[in-house]
Chain A
């Protein structure tokens, strides 16, 4: 995997935490410091969750730390299912100690003694590497009972995902670890109050946790001074195989997308008409539109797209958008958890419309399709089936010309 940092100050990709000795030094610094001070640094860094929802990490940890319950959990969400994304895989395999360190600091601050990494089964190498790292850290008394002779104990384990995309959604992920069907739960209560086994739980994405060591090492300001308050620090961006220079890159928030596409990715190997940024639920953005944007969560949302986890999939000029929408509906109908009605049924009805358009047995009933998209957007329980209308609506808006022969205007 090709990886390179273009960040002003590298946070995620550097070798600041690549040996057990470095881990020991950083952990002993944290254990010597007041917990409140460490939490303040995390909060002031303006680090926001990298798993998609973008919740402020310091605030999440603080809410959990305030729960007056003895047993709490830390969960690392390593179920990276978005196609186009392999940044969590990079971190799990190339920076495993940063991820585990982030979990350990979180456990220390919130008062937890157990953590679990939920790693998708499609990533066998990540599982092996994290498992090996946990074993080594245990041997060095950096995990387990009385870490470095203090009264702080923390154990870690791994759960291996079994091929369900929805397990990336935090309430489904918790249900899965508990051995239940991975169905999305209604919130509140949020996991920080009632999470794994109904105990207060912090669920954080791999990339969020991996940023912690260097935020603590270099100080909050180093991170918060990049980008803006809501989109601060650096972000991993994955470019797919249709870029001339595909790979995972660490990039300052706020960097123009034009630079990412043309300078970092060096443009495309064949004509590309649009990018899908942020996984299957992210926006499909025509090249002309994407070049107006900067790497910024709010900017993407404002323009009707979603930066999400930062993956970029290129849609070639020659690829039919009717087929692409079919692919998206098929994905949500295969992966819907089945709990909410508009998600379970709506995804399938959408897939059916495009099955028929592709085999030319029926034209797309455009009014019905638009109603379906509104119903799914408004009525679904979570962002799997609730956000899939975003890329589909984008395609219908920007690529109307590709549908003109396949649409029934009166149905």
Chain B
């Protein structure tokens, strides 16, 4: 079964990648329609796309409803920083709007959380008001970030 799906997905390959299309489709508002179109385009059943899409944490509605995510990794847990971060984020964004993500790769400073597409850690929580207002903290940019056009497919 999966061999067949691999090959069907492989007809379009990386250039029109099914995984990326699926991620896009689940973030569109008319979710059901987009997924049906995708299934037809790739010649697979609706259940194949739904089955795949429901596997991934970030694509689930419960995940998307959250506004900020606290790091759930072992280093943040052992350093005991999660409680403080949860308290501060809950005060600002509401307790129900806080989710968890696994290790954000800031284990050297812990206190890690994710908000609006960026990771924060260390003392960043002290600037939570600025972060929520959209002010860029940690604004030092790597040379290559300048050339990123947010479209990850063959630079189109």
Contact = CB atoms under 8 A, between A and B. Distances in A.
Contact of B51 (A86, A93, A128, A181): A181
Interface string B1-35: 01101110110011101111111000000000000
Contact of A177 (B19, B108, B109, B152): B19
Interface stretch (A159-167, A214-222, A347-355, A363-371): A159-167
Which of B74, B106, B117 has the most chain A CB within a 10 Å cutoff?
B74
A313 B78 contact: yes
Contacts of B21: 179
Interface stretch (A29-37, A57-65, A240-248, A375-383): A240-248
Interface in A111-145: 114, 116, 121-125, 127-136, 138
B6 A164 contact: no
Contacts, number: 195
Contact of A129 (B3, B58, B142, B150): B142
B134 interface: no
Contacts of A135: 147-149, 155
Contacts of A291: none
A198 B75 contact: no
A238 B142 contact: no
B105 interface: yes
A131 B52 CA distance: 25
A120 B143 CA distance: 21
A160 B101 contact: no
Interface stretch (A75-83, A101-109, A253-261, A392-400): A75-83
The residue in B15, B48, B145, B150 that gathers the most chain A C-beta atoms within 10 A of its C-beta is: B145
A84 B58 contact: no
Contacts of A411: none
B152 A158 contact: yes
Interface string B95-134: 0000001111111111000100111000000000000000
Interface of A: 1-2, 73, 80-86, 89, 93-94, 96, 114, 116, 121-125, 127-136, 138, 155, 157-160, 162-165, 175-182, 185, 196-199, 238-242, 246-248, 276, 280, 311, 313-316, 319, 327, 331, 335
Given A136-B144, A178-B19, A242-B78, 5 more contacts: A122-B105, A128-B145, A163-B57, A178-B10, A197-B6
4 A-B pairs with the lowest CB-CB distances in the bound complex, closest first: A197-B10, A179-B18, A83-B73, A163-B57
